[in-house]
Structure 1
Amino acid sequence: MNLKRIFGALLTILGIAGLIYAAMLFINTSGGTREIKALVIYGIFGFIFFLSGINLIRTTKDEA
């Protein structure tokens, strides 16, 4: 298996975890400034990791 695909899968899993954590913060937030900053940060990083992992998996060619 290609190292780029493994790294892409790892980034995708981290991105999904970040998005799930941001969703949990969104559900449990009371509206404090610190909570909203954490929600935005985890959401943005999760989205970036998810998209970069999917893109890395998709663009890597299989070479046998």
Structure 2
Amino acid sequence: MNLKRIFGTVLTILGIIGLIYAAYTFVNTSTGEQSVKVIAIYGIIGLIFFIAGIGLVKRTRDDSRV
């Protein structure tokens, strides 16, 4: 397996975890400036990691195919 595909998979998983944590924080907190900042930070970082990981997995050519 290619190292880029492994890194893309790790980024995708970290992105999913970040998005799930942002959604969990959004559901379980009341409105406040601190919670909005936390939700925005985890949501944006999770989205960046998720998109970067998916893009890396899609663009990486698989050399094991014949």
* Interval containing the TM-score (normalised by the shorter chain): over 0.9
Corresponding residue for residue 49 of structure 2: 49
Separation (CA, whole Å) in 2 of partners of 1:29 and 1:54: 30
Percentage of pairs with the same residue: 61
Deviation at 1:43, TM superposition (A): 0.2
TM-score scaled by structure 2? 0.94
> RMSD value over aligned CA atoms?
0.6
Q: How many residues align?
A: 64
| Paired amino acid for 2:58 | R
Consecutive unaligned residues in structure 2, runs of 5 or more: none
Which of structure 1's runs of 4+ aligned residues deviate more than 4 A?
A: none
Consecutive unaligned residues in structure 1, runs of 5 or more: none
TM-score scaled by structure 1? 0.97
